[in-house]
Structure 1
Amino acid sequence: MKRGGELRGARLAYETWGTPSAARDNAVLILTGLSPGAHAASNAEDPSPGWWEGIVGPGKAIDTDRFFVVCVNSLGSCKGSTGPASIDPATGEPYRLDFPELTLEDVGNAAYELARGLGIERLACLVGCSMGGMSALGYMLHHPGSVRAHVSISTAPQAQPFAIAIRSLQREAIRLDPNWNEGRYDDAHYPEMGMHIARKLGVITYRSAIEWSGRFGRIRLEPDKREEDPFGAEFQIESYLQGHARRFARSFDPNCYLYLSRASDWFDVAEYGHGSIAEGMRRIRLERALVIGVETDILFPLQQQEQIAMGLREAGAEVDFVALDSPQGHDAFLVDIERFGAAIGAFMAKL
Structure 2
Amino acid sequence: MTHDARRYVALSSPFAMKRGGELHGAQVAYETWGELNAARDNAVLLLTGLSPSAHAASNDQDPTPGWWEPMIGPGRAIDTSRWFVICVNSLGSDKGSTCAASIDPATGAPYRLTFPELSLEDVANAAHQAVRSLGIDQLACLIGCSMGGMSALAYMVLHPGSVRAHISVDTAPQAQPFAIAIRSLQREAIRLDPQWNNGQYDDAHYPETGMSIARKLGVITYRSAMEWNGRFARIRLDAEQRDDNPFGLEFEVESYLEGHARRFVHTFDPNSYLYLSRASDWFDISEYGDGDVMEGLKRIRIQQAMVIGVSTDILFPLEQQEQIADGLRAAGAEVEFVALNSPQGHDAFLVDIPNYSRAIGGFLGRL
Question: Does TM, normalized by the shorter one, top 0.5?
Answer: yes
- The residue number in structure 1 matching 2:12 is none
CA distance in 1, matches of 2:244, 2:80: 51
Shift of residue 177, structure 1, vs aligned partner: 0.4
Structure 1 gap ranges (5+): none
| Secondary structure of the structure 2 residue equivalent to 1:290 | strand
| Secondary structure of the structure 1 residue equivalent to 2:231 | helix
- The residue number in structure 1 matching 2:3 is none
TM-score by length of 1: 1.00
CA distance in 2, matches of 1:102, 1:155: 19
- The residue number in structure 2 matching 1:275 is 291
Q: Quick check: 1:168 aligned with 2:177? A: no
CA distance in 1, matches of 2:81, 2:26: 31
- The residue number in structure 2 matching 1:181 is 197
Shift of residue 9, structure 1, vs aligned partner: 1.1
| Secondary structure of the structure 1 residue equivalent to 2:22 | coil
Larger displacement relative to structure 2 (319-328 or 89-98): 89-98
Q: Deviations over 1:158-191 (max 9, x none)?
A: 0100000000000000000001011000011110
The one-letter amino acid of 2:26's match is: A
Shift of residue 90, structure 1, vs aligned partner: 1.1
- The residue number in structure 2 matching 1:329 is 345
Q: Quick check: 1:156 aligned with 2:175? A: no
| Secondary structure of the structure 1 residue equivalent to 2:255 | helix
The one-letter amino acid of 2:157's match is: L
- The residue number in structure 1 matching 2:363 is 347
- The residue number in structure 2 matching 1:296 is 312
- The residue number in structure 2 matching 1:319 is 335
Shift of residue 98, structure 1, vs aligned partner: 0.6
- The residue number in structure 1 matching 2:106 is 90
- The residue number in structure 2 matching 1:264 is 280
CA distance in 2, matches of 1:32, 1:128: 6
Shift of residue 37, structure 1, vs aligned partner: 0.2
CA distance in 1, matches of 2:216, 2:183: 12
Equivalent position to 1:213, from 205, 229, 234: 229
| Secondary structure of the structure 1 residue equivalent to 2:287 | helix
Following superposition of structure 1 onto structure 2, how do residues 124-139 of structure 1 map, counting pairs within 5 Å?
124-139=140-155
The one-letter amino acid of 2:314's match is: I
CA distance in 1, matches of 2:155, 2:325: 17
TM-score by length of 2: 0.95
Q: Quick check: 1:10 aligned with 2:13? A: no
| Secondary structure of the structure 1 residue equivalent to 2:166 | strand
Q: Quick check: 1:140 aligned with 2:152? A: no
- The residue number in structure 2 matching 1:246 is 262
The one-letter amino acid of 1:110's match is: A
The one-letter amino acid of 1:222's match is: D
| Secondary structure of the structure 1 residue equivalent to 2:125 | helix
Following superposition of structure 1 onto structure 2, how do residues 11-50 of structure 1 map, counting pairs within 5 Å?
11-50=27-66
Q: Deviations over 1:205-224 (max 9, x none)?
A: 00000100111000000000
CA distance in 2, matches of 1:93, 1:67: 40
The percent identity for this pair of structures is 75
- The residue number in structure 2 matching 1:307 is 323
Shift of residue 8, structure 1, vs aligned partner: 1.1
- The residue number in structure 2 matching 1:222 is 238
CA distance in 1, matches of 2:264, 2:274: 14
Following superposition of structure 1 onto structure 2, how do residues 96-135 of structure 1 map, counting pairs within 5 Å?
96-135=112-151
Q: Deviations over 1:104-139 (max 9, x none)?
A: 010001000100001000000000000000000000
| Secondary structure of the structure 1 residue equivalent to 2:305 | strand
Q: Quick check: 1:198 aligned with 2:214? A: yes
The one-letter amino acid of 2:132's match is: R
Q: Deviations over 1:244-282 (max 9, x none)?
A: 111101100000000000000000001110010010011
Q: Quick check: 1:62 aligned with 2:75? A: no
The one-letter amino acid of 1:147's match is: V
The one-letter amino acid of 2:219's match is: V
| Secondary structure of the structure 2 residue equivalent to 1:54 | helix
The one-letter amino acid of 1:285's match is: R
Q: Deviations over 1:70-94 (max 9, x none)?
A: 0010000000000001111111111
- The residue number in structure 1 matching 2:250 is 234
Q: Which runs of 4+ in 1 moved over 6 A?
A: none
Structure 2 gap ranges (5+): 1-16
Supply the RMSD in Å over aligned alpha carbons: 0.5
